[in-house]
Amino acid sequence: MTERKPANLDFESWIDKQIREATERGEFRNLPGAGKPIPRGNDDENWWLKGYLRKEGVSGDALLPPSLLLRRDIERLPEVVRELNSERAVRETVRELNQRVVDWLRLPHGPYVHVAPVDTEAVVTQWQAERKPKPAPVPLTPPPERPTRRWPFFRRHRAT
């Protein structure tokens, strides 16, 4: 950490002195990106935010208004329910989404985007139609018994 600025120096000369001393000590050698321009976005005002989200591995969904998130979730609903295994799970997923829609409609905030609850029965019917019927299980039958060969020359004949 640097020391405090002396009272008799102005900021510019004090900062210049600190930079010159650090350069003489070699603290600026071998820095990543040395000699390259500072990366900017393509004149996007949120370039730094997009870069930060990419660096942290976070999607930008948290920045979207709730109405757009709901609209996106409604559009993706067929893909989501396609992966579910039971009608009960499909109904629960649609019920949860409809509850979020109703909550937003009661007190909308953010940009208004037309959003309406989803018809549960229509989603369940579509889910049932798209489901691939499971193949019937193959009945397990014991393998056929192989007849034993009897070689005549190995047989012993009893004298009766």
- 129-147 pLDDT, tens digit per residue, is 888 666 667 777 776 777 6
Rounded CA separation 4/16 (Å):
14
Single-letter amino acid code for the residue at 67: S
Q: Of 125, 128, 111, 122, whose CA–CA distance to 74 is shortest?
A: 122
Res 3 pLDDT > 80: no
Name which residue leads in pLDDT, 14 or 84: 84
Q: From residue 79, give the alpha-carbon distance in Å to each of 23, 61, 98, 101, 114.
A: 58, 18, 16, 19, 21
The most confident of 51-65, 106-120, 123-137, by mean pLDDT:
106-120
| Residue length of the chain | 160
pLDDT at 154 (0 to 100): 55
The CB-side HSE value for 118 (13 A sphere, CA atoms) comes to: 29
Name which residue leads in pLDDT, 152 or 113: 113
Name which residue leads in pLDDT, 150 or 117: 117
Render the burial of 67-91: b for 16+ CB within 10 Å, e for the rest. bebbbebbeebeeebeeeeeeeebb
pLDDT at 11 (0 to 100): 63
| Residue written as token pair 């870069």 | 51
Mean pLDDT, residues 34-49: 75
